[in-house]
Each structure stands twice: as structure tokens, then as C-alpha cells.
Structure 1
Amino acid sequence: MPLTVIGFEGSANKLGIGIVRDGVVFSNPRHTYVTPPGKGFLPRETAKHHREWMLNVLKQALTDAGLTHADIDCVAYTKGPGMGAPLVSVAVAARTVAQLWNKPLIGVNHCIAHIEMGRLITSADNPTVLYVSGGNTQVIAYSERRYRIFGETIDIAVGNCLDRFARIIQISNDPSPGYNIEQLAKKGNKFLQLPYTVKGMDVSFTGILSFIEDAAKNKTLMAEYTPADLCFSLQETLFSMLVEITERAMAHCGSQEVMIVGGVGCNLRLQEMMEIMANERGARLYATDERFCIDNGAMIAQAGFEMYRTGLKDATYEDLLEESWCTQRFRTDEVEVTWRDP
């Protein structure tokens, strides 16, 4: 029997609801909370956005899929990690829908959802994964029922670094600060040497951010470098660090596949740099576009589908409902991966 899962995602500023049936994406609408240039998104206002748009996005997901609630077999939602208030707002909505429709409810790890969506869309078999977003930066590989973290940021995520720099130079947040930095970087041609902090397979971004923030406020320096030059320099430095730690993990694992997931994974320059490294190793790069890299409901549905069919199908409705809480901190390697071979 086909299994149809609806997934609710809202761990940050994007509210997404997607429907997946046996590995086929039926619908995947989302709505993004956008703030004015120079401002970030706060948890309270982001949660308010999600509550206000929840019904519209839910209706659109069902309409786009050509389905009704009777066609849904399971409800999945983001359990964590993420921002507290937005996570709660979406968890409450998913829990409400599950009870109204009398469907089992599955809490999904956000990071693993990105990986499973990437594997589904690209058909990658067993890749080393670079997961890069506003809240996460990790190099991951699968082993013995776990997605193991080989390297990660020791302070802020790469997406957060880009976002915070965008505020300093007053770049628009529409559609996203990272995207607009990418476009501006294409116009830059003068490289400013920035701190480069790689520690084994871990990275650090706060020193780079502080340095380039000071540079952007230095009138003497800015007479020599344009904002586009700074965006170009920042991207090249950050992405070089990420490619380095990914290659190190690939060498450690003996991997010939590398996959980029997460919102920053949409960046074409990052994909280009990673592909150069992969080609030099005789390896293959797997990446997707903004439909599936950026936070979305279909990725939650796909991970929920895998979890439900392989480990949770026999759990009682009441037990699943009892476990329908959420958490801001939820490590990738905490989850038992029951749907893959050991």
C-alpha cells in the first residue's frame, strides 16, 4: 500500500508544508518571513508569521497535491533543532492536524530531513554530506545506524555569518541575505585577505565575521574595496574552509560521493568549488536547487515517511502523540537511522 505523509517545517523563518507519497513529491509550498534590510528575524515575530500563514500554506499543499486529509496516512513535523517559538508554533499546528484527522504523528530531526531529501532528489547512494544553513554547519557521513558528525562549526553557522554580514552592509533580506551576497560577490574582483580558521575537521567563523565587519566600517579601507569585493572575499574564504574539511572527511571515509544540503547549499559558487575538489579526487558532486536546499515541508515528509515505514509503524497513536514535543537542540547523530543498512 502506498504511504502518503504530510510534513510541517518551520524551524526558522520559512514555513513549509509538503506532501510525499512513496518517494514522490506531490506538493511543497512555503512562505518566508522577510525583515527589512539590516534586521534579523526574532523568534516571537517569526512564530507569529508561521501562525498567520499556516492555514493558507496547508490549503495550498493539499490543493497542489490534489488530495484531501482522508488521503494522508501520517503527519510529520520538525522536532528540532531550530528557534524555539517557531518550532512550537509548527509543532502545535501539526499536533492539532494529526488529532483532527486521527493520523499518527512523527517528530523529525531537521538535519536528517535535509539529508534524506538530498538523497531522494539526487539519488546519491552513500555520500559524505556537507550540511550548511543559517543555523548549522556540519560534515556528516553514515555509519552503523547513525549519521556521524566528522566536523562542524565551533561557534556560529556559515549561514549566520553571511546573514550577519549582510545586515552590516544593509543588503536586502528578500529573498534571502545569502542569495543577495552571492549576486553581489559576482561583481567583486579584488580579494581582501581574511582570517582562515580550520581546526582539523572543525571550522570557526566568528573571527572572520569580526574582521570583515571592522573592514566594512573602515572608511580608508572601503576607499580601496567595494562592498562587492568584501562579499567576494568572504564567500571565497568561507567556502574554501568548507571544501577543505569536506575533502578531509571524504579521505577519512574513502568516499567517492559528496552531497551539499541546507540553505547555503544553493550557492552556485560553493557548488562550483566543491565540484572542482570532487573532480580532482575522481569523485562526484550531488547538489539540488532552492526548491529542496532551502527549508521545506517535503523534506520533513520524506524523513517522516522513512521513519514511519521502518520503525514507527507499529507504535500506538497515543505513544506517538505523547512524544510530540520539540527541542531547540537536537543533534544529527542522536537519531537511529532504521531505514538504511548498517
Structure 2
Amino acid sequence: MPIRQEMPVFDRPMVAIGLEGSANKLGVGIIRHFPRPNKTSPRPPAEILSNIRHTYITPPGEGFLPRDTAKHHRSFVVKLVKEAILQSELTVDDIDCVCFTQGPGMGAPLQSVAIAARTICLMWDKPLVGVNHCVGHIEMGREITGADNPVVLYVSGGNTQVIAYSHQRYRIFGETLDIAVGNCLDRFARTLQIPNDPSPGYNIELLAQKGKHYVELPYTVKGMDVSMSGILAYIDGIAADVFSGKPRFADDSEQITREDLCFSLQETIFAMLVEITERAMAHVGSQQVLIVGGVGCNERLQNMMGIMARDRGGDVYATDERFCIDNGIMIAHAGLLAYETGYRTALEDSVCTQRFRTDEVFVAWR
């Protein structure tokens, strides 16, 4: 079981290093928290000392296999840790704890980074803190944007959830029933042979901006949940016709292009996400939406969510690619928040899990 000590009181700045490697992005970040002036005052803004990332990129039409991604992480983790320390202008003695992503994510990459974190904590004689990947996204988003108590839309390659905080847990109000939104976009990018550099989802976003015709696709909202595998299969079929010389035509008899397909896919699945997010806002009475996760960088998703939020008299909060895409600083930040409440992860409990639910985490710092 994780070790939870009596709530300590810190009268000096605290520093954490965070290692993230749940998918194809390897990130290392170092953050500094400052003590509260008193128990009732808010914590001063954190100081980001370094935030370095390296991405494993595959050829167009190919996804990233767990074993190859894990090999990439093993190859670069030492280099990134050294660069992060140099960039922070700190020494090992200044680090208070070592934080790492414990899940969810791809098994082999998670294990590679966990081994690196365990090795560092033993070499440096520092406490270890395991972090939930989603909670890292949420806390980093709250820190950067200043969102107080928002409904959170968590959208990434492996996760799609609508979340709100209640009684020291991040409660899941709705989620995908099959594949995540990022996985849906990435797989369609492979269908179209779209490059994976810098990311397939970003390249789909660029193509979608040139789309002129909306192709009607299945719209699968089931209560507070969504389903995307059927949408992907349907649009893959249309794309196969286009590529095989059986053109599809829009209402004005113009031939449907791959730009039209990217535009239509984005519009459909983003509308689904906006719907369930609005329903969660109405349920909890919140006027704030925080979008986190790699897909949260998508400007069209932010615009659509903004239209909905403004109609409700609310606001949308989002970060740029430094903090939206998987990164080490979010793991360092969430880990340090937990560490400051007395949380530690014993070596025997530092195993990773691909299915680490967001609502399993006790949020002692709120």
C-alpha cells in the first residue's frame, strides 16, 4: 500500500522531478513549489524549472508498437534527465522527490520509465511518488490556467473522459465506451497515410481546416458516454471508396476529398464531446470547462467548446502544446502536490498498471 504520513508542514520551497512515458512521448520536468504564507492562504504559483520532451515518431501509415516505444524511452531517458537537471540549474541535492507515471498507458513504455524512476530514487536516495496520468493533466491544467473548479474534458490518444471534482475525488461523469478520441484520429490518419510528424492528430487538424463539405457520419452519444469505433469504421469505408477510384460526391456534385473527411470527422466527434460536457456542467452547476490531454490542443475543439460555454455564460480554459501534450512537468507537479500531503510510493508498490482509473486517486491536496 502507498505510504501516507501525517500532513507535513513545509517552510521552504520543495522541488520534484517528474518522468512521463505512458505512450510515445517521453518527458522529464522539474518544478518548484513555494510554501503558503499561512494555512488559509492559497499556494503561490509554481515555478517551472525545466520541461523537456522527446517523441517516438513512426513512418506514415504506421502506429507505435509498445516494444519499440519502450526501447525509445530506454534510449533517451538518461539524456533527458541530465538535460533537465542542467536546464533547471539545480543539483541532485536540491531534488526532494522523484515522480513517475504509474498509469494508465501502454504497458511496456510505462515499465521502462518506472524502472528509470526507481533507479534514480535509489541512486539519489530520494522518495518515490507514483502519479495517475490523468490527474497530472488536470492539476497541470488548473495550475497554468487558474481554473478553480471546472468540469474537465480529458481527451488524449488513450483516454476520453468528462470529469468533475467532488469530495476529494475526480469523478468520471462520462467516457468513451470503446476507443479514445485521439486513437480515433490517429487511426484515421493511418488510413489516409498522413505523416506522424509532429503528430497525426495535428496533421488531421490542418487538413480539416481546408475541408469544404460535411459528410454525414454516425453520431453516437449514449447518455453521458460516447462511442467512436463505429464512426471510424464508417469513415474508413468512405475513404476506401475514394482511394479505390469509386468517388463519393457532396450535395453540389463536387467530389469528396480527404480534407472533407478530416473536417467531417472532427466536427462529428467534437460535437459529441461538447454535448456530454455541457450536460455535466448543467448537472454540477459549473460555469468553467478545462480541456486537458493531447487532443485538447486542437483549436477547433476549443472553439466549439467556447461557443457552448459562452452561451451558458461560462468560460473555457486550455493550455498550449507545452502542457497539453504529455509532459514530465505535469507528473512532477501532481506528484509534488501528493508528496506535500505526506504521500509516498514504496518500491514494492511502484509497479505500473495500464488501467489506473482517474477516480481511484484520493485528492488529499484539495
* Equivalent residue for 1:275, pick from 265, 288, 306: 306
- Mapped to 1, the partners of 2:108 and 2:205 lie a distance apart of 29
* Equivalent residue for 2:66, pick from 21, 24, 43: 43
* Equivalent residue for 1:230, pick from 252, 257, 261: 261
The corresponding residue for 2:22 is: 11
Q: What is the CA distance between 1:322 and its match in structure 2? A: 2.5
Deviations 1:73-97 (A, max 9, x none): 0000000000000000000000000
8 Å contact 1:104–1:321 — kept in the other structure? no
Please give the residue correspondences for 1:146-157 in structure 2 after superposition, counting only pairs within 5 Å. 146-157=169-180
* Equivalent residue for 1:175, pick from 194, 198, 209: 198
8 Å contact 1:34–1:173 — kept in the other structure? yes
8 Å contact 1:216–1:222 — kept in the other structure? no
Deviations 1:119-146 (A, max 9, x none): 0000110000000000000000000010
Q: What is the CA distance between 1:222 and its match in structure 2? A: 4.4
Q: What is the CA distance between 1:195 and its match in structure 2? A: 0.3
Deviations 1:274-295 (A, max 9, x none): 0000000000110001000000
Deviations 1:237-264 (A, max 9, x none): 0100000000000000000110000000
The corresponding residue for 1:129 is: 152
Q: What is the CA distance between 1:311 and its match in structure 2? A: 3.2
Question: Matched residues, percent identical?
Answer: 69
Aligned partner of 1:34: which letter?
I
- Mapped to 1, the partners of 2:247 and 2:142 lie a distance apart of 44
* Equivalent residue for 1:263, pick from 287, 294, 297: 294
SS of the equivalent of 2:341 reads helix
8 Å contact 1:10–1:90 — kept in the other structure? yes
The corresponding residue for 1:331 is: 357
The higher radius of gyration belongs to 2
The corresponding residue for 1:249 is: 280
The corresponding residue for 1:320 is: 346
Q: Please, what is the CA RMSD of the aligned residues?
A: 0.9
8 Å contact 1:129–1:139 — kept in the other structure? yes
8 Å contact 1:311–1:338 — kept in the other structure? no
Question: Does 2:321 match 1:295?
Answer: no
The corresponding residue for 2:342 is: 311
8 Å contact 1:133–1:157 — kept in the other structure? yes
The corresponding residue for 1:21 is: 32
Matched positions, count: 335
TM-score by length of 2: 0.90
Q: What is the CA distance between 1:221 and its match in structure 2? A: 3.4
- The ranges of structure 1 where at least 4 consecutive aligned residues each deviate by more than 4 angstroms after the TM superposition are none
The corresponding residue for 1:71 is: 94
The corresponding residue for 1:212 is: 235
The corresponding residue for 1:162 is: 185
**Quick check: which one's helix share is greater?**
1
Aligned partner of 2:352: which letter?
C
TM-score by length of 1: 0.97
Deviations 1:131-172 (A, max 9, x none): 000000000000001000000000000000000000000000
- Mapped to 1, the partners of 2:75 and 2:310 lie a distance apart of 46
Q: What is the CA distance between 1:321 and its match in structure 2? A: 2.2
Deviates more, 1:64-73 or 1:195-204: 64-73
SS of the equivalent of 2:101 reads strand
* Equivalent residue for 2:130, pick from 73, 83, 107: 107
- Mapped to 1, the partners of 2:149 and 2:279 lie a distance apart of 16
- Mapped to 2, the partners of 1:99 and 1:290 lie a distance apart of 32
Q: What is the CA distance between 1:320 and its match in structure 2? A: 2.2
Question: Does 2:84 match 1:61?
Answer: yes
Aligned partner of 2:130: which letter?
G
